[in-house]
Amino acid sequence: MDRIAIVGGGRLNGEIPISGAKNSAIKLMAASLLTDQPVRLTNMPRLADTRFLGKLLQRLGTSVVESDGPDGPETLLHTPEIVSSIAPYDLVRQMRASFNVLGPLIARTGHAKVSLPGGCAIGGRPVDLHLKALEALGARIDMHEGYVYAQAPRGLKGAEIEFPMVSVGATEHALMAAVLARGETVLKNAACEPEIDDLAECLIKMGARIEGAGTPTILIQGVSRLEGVTHSVIPDRIETGTFAVAAAMAGGEVRLTRTRAHLIDALIEKLEEAGADIERTNDGLIVRRNGARLKAVDIETAPYPGFATDLQAQFMALMSLAEGESVFKETIFENRFMHAAELSRLGADITVSGREARVRGVERLEGAPVMATDLRASVGLVIAGLVARGETTVSRVYHLDRGFERLEEKLSACGADIRRIQGPEGVEETE
């Protein structure tokens, strides 16, 4: 397995262009199943996750063509016919979000067989909200041997769906299914993330009738068919926030371009509270830190527009060197503090108790071998490595490749001493 090696101590100065949003791109790709016409997505990120979903869509009958257009990377998806309504375990297990092909398949063909993501039990996992929403729209759901069997031979019908808890995936899933359902659908307690607004904007361009996307109540009037479209993927707010934290961690001045500062308002507020200087620009933001030690600030993750759980690991790395003690409260996901133990290997002083972590800032971090446990944890370790004395090596970076495009290249362009160490494929790193 590949590793990433970082020699810490250098400041970051330069410009980083932000890629298209992974969490939006993969749902837009799934939405391409809703029409028999071509869907062209521009500003597309080139990531392991988009490649995984591309393979699954090809199995279902989609032609997937990647190219470099005048505005950067783009992907053309065309599904003139669904040749298979089966999404097998070997493909779905590679990326949880690929489960969202279920709704478009039912909406277009009236039936689908889709593996549960990772073969997981339903229980308290959020996927049960997806299934309840589809049932409310008239789908008959059965489960056997790790697969969801869904049928709606007479088509889906509009319904009022109130989610018992905010779920981005379930909101997106219900939205995609409802656009081809007969009649009116109302989604209540819907998630408000920018990626949902982006999905709705694309669907509206395709002919869907949607109001209220980006608010807790979304109204959908079903239509009989959707057309092809060209749509630009919104900038990745998590990548934007990650590089903003990296700049604050290392010091210096970094301009983030091709993005929108308002997407990370909650993070900007905390960075400024800690002592970083943030300047909003027409195409992004500039992050500056003159070398003065940052102050500890507390964090509580929350659904958008609150502080994103996907930026928690990065901010914890930042707070590991801040003056004072910061308290992190994780309200979205269980077991989202697995990176704390790896940060401690670099010298961070972190105590975890349930969904709360206390970070007491230390004077310095020391480079060491560490291991990524998930996508966001991996980049948090890279950020810590930017300032750790000596060399830090991060293993299991296949997690990183799922969500960050050309990370080493972008950081290197700003002066970071970072490189990828390629290892034999299929060989697990050991500590």
pLDDT on residue 122: 30
Q: Any idea which of 115-129, 211-225, 361-375 has the lowest mean pLDDT?
A: 115-129
- 425 pLDDT exceeds 80? no
Domain segments of the chain: what residues?
3-19+235-421, 22-232
SS3 112: strand
Kindly list the catalytic residues: 120
96 marked among binding-site residues: yes
How large is the angle between the packed helices 22-31 and 168-178, nearest 10 degrees? Answer: 30
Rounded mean pLDDT of 51-55? 94
Any idea of the CA torsion for 297, 303, 305, 308, to the nearest 10 degrees?
50
22 marked among binding-site residues: yes
125 marked among binding-site residues: yes
pLDDT on residue 126: 60
With cut-offs at 50, 70 and 90, classify the pLDDT of residue 426.
Answer: very low
Q: Assess whether the region 3-19+235-421 and the region 22-232 belong to the same CATH fold.
A: yes
CATH of segment(s) 3-19+235-421: 3.65.10.10
- Tokens standing for residue 152: 């709606």
pLDDT on residue 429: 38
Please give the Cα distance from 404 to 221 (Å, whole number): 36
Q: Any idea which of 198-202, 264-268, 291-295, 382-386 has the lowest mean pLDDT?
A: 291-295
CATH superfamily ID and name for 22-232: Enolpyruvate transferase domain (3.65.10.10)
β 39-42/229-232 pair status = parallel
63-74: pLDDT as tens digits: 999 999 887 899
238 marked among binding-site residues: no
Any idea of the CA torsion for 405, 411, 412, 418, to the nearest 10 degrees?
-90
- 124 pLDDT exceeds 50? no
23 marked among binding-site residues: yes
27 marked among binding-site residues: no
**Mean residue pLDDT across the chain:** 93
